[in-house]
Amino acid sequence: MAPLALFSSLPFSSSRLDGSCTALKLRLQFSAAFHAMKRRRPELSSSSAPRLAAPPPPETDDVARRWLLLDLDRSELSLPLTFPTGQTFRWKQTGPVQYTGAVGPHLISLKHLEDGTVSYFIHSRSCDSSAAAALLDFLNSDVSLAEIWAAFSAADRRFAEVARHLAGARVLRQEPLECLVQFLCSSNNNIKRITKMVDFISSSGNYLGSVEGFDFHEFPTLEQLSEFSEEALREAGFGYRAKYIIGTVKALQSKPGGGVEWLKSLRKMDLPETIDALCTLPGVGPKVAACIALFSLDQHHAIPVDTHVWQIATRHLLPELAGSRLTPKLCSRVAEAFVSKYGKYAGWAQTLLFVAELPSQKALLPSHCLIMKDEKTTD
């Protein structure tokens, strides 16, 4: 078993972009005037975290010129293992290995190149440096998968084998309000219906553009969300979730200092306090609270426990509980088992193991991985 402090000595660093919107605009004006200067990307401060690489030489086609490289290979970011896996329901597949979505006010596409690295395209006419900084933050780029997965693999032979075949499954860092509303829609629901609900709510936000037939919007503000009525949401197919969304919006609006600020303040609390605070909102239970904590509030050891995670736990971590009925007390025991095994980034380990259980990903695992899973309970 890995101790709880497994990652206490691992260094993680952050990236910061230099430059400003003003400087960028001046360079563009200079280029337009003299046709001799080339557009430059702002550089990142020196850091071990992923950085934005220099773009290829300018081409005559402005669209081609705006595709830029992220210094991330597939081992650090796999788009198919990150976006369509239940963390967010606002990103769309817009190409064979391309996904598009909104990061704040920025409309961005990401795609894998042939060598596995990732390039990005900023569709909106916003400041490139601001959009790039927001993208890196959204991708949780301060966390090195190579480092934490090496620690996971040393503690768990089965994780090491699965990770070889499903590398690059990252945990996103979404805006808390956006994440909260999405997971209010997810309660007792399926991905197709959740996505339809989230799209309906998102359509009240500022329109950002259309890519491959999909319309994209900035996520609505609290004020924009407050314009929905429970009746309108019920007519749109939200069912009982309508009253929870309306109730949560009202509860957030009543928070001193503002609901968005209150949600962000939860990033500074311990996990139990964060879960308790979220559970005061209408419709938020422990599982939904753990999802919000993990995917938006920097609570990297939060473990959302549902029937799928329960099955993983009883096969590999707590085989003595196989056949038991999942209760709130056992949910806590499952979460503790994951943290005991994987440490303060246990939520990232659980995310990969959950992804490995999805039918689309299970098909990618060789048979000996599946056999290893079954044999684990006899250890």
Which of the residues are catalytic?
287
In sequence order, which residues have a C-beta less than 8 Å from that of residue 63 and are 6 or more positions away?
A: none
Angle at 274 between CA 268 and CA 275, to 5 degrees: 160
Long-range contacts of 192-199 (CB under 8 A, 24+ apart): 193/237, 194/89, 195/89, 196/237, 197/236, 197/237, 197/238, 197/241, 198/89, 198/90, 199/90
The pair of structure tokens assigned to 67 is 């595709």
Sheet of 67-70, strand order:
67-70, 118-122, 106-112, 98-103, 92-95
